[in-house]
Amino acid sequence: MKIAIALFLAATILLTGCYGQTVPPATSNSTGTITGASVASVEISGFAFTPATLTIAKGTTVTWTQKDAAPHAVTGGTFDSGTLNAGQTYSHTFNEIGSFNYHCNFHQSMTGKITVQ
């Protein structure tokens, strides 16, 4: 009986500690560099783009995969996904060298940057 109570209390403490977890900030510091590949991926999850910054070669196609329940968008100067719902993807091929900032039209704090070399 004492073991059962001890296990119950331990489980309660563990679950209570996990309950208060927060979502990471939308401006993630994660970065990625893709070399020698013609495709790259960015995940939309937890109201953030991951990786938030990505360095790719000219001609690389980047695919964003939307994993949040809330709608999002991928909008930059020369590209716009429109509304992306959970499970949807959007791809864009970067054929010009430069830096391309983008954001979510619904959540302006969600930002990302693609650097094409």
Q: Six-digit token pair at 94?
A: 């970067």
pLDDT value at residue 17: 39
What domains are defined for the chain?
A: 24-116 (2.60.40.420)
pLDDT bracket for residue 15 (50, 70, 90): very low
Could you give the CA distance from residue 32 to residue 54 in angstroms, rounded to a whole number?
5
pLDDT bracket for residue 30 (50, 70, 90): low
pLDDT value at residue 45: 98
Could you give the CA distance from residue 37 to residue 93 in angstroms, rounded to a whole number?
12
pLDDT in tens, 64-102: 999 999 999 999 999 999 999 999 999 999 999 999 999
pLDDT value at residue 3: 54
Instruction: Write the single-letter amino acid at 48.
Output: A
Report, as an integer, the average pLDDT of 37-63.
Answer: 96
Q: What is the dihedral of CA 34, 105, 43, 71, to 10 degrees?
A: -160
pLDDT value at residue 22: 31
pTM confidence score: 0.71
pLDDT bracket for residue 16 (50, 70, 90): very low
Could you give the CA distance from residue 109 to residue 83 in angstroms, rounded to a whole number?
16
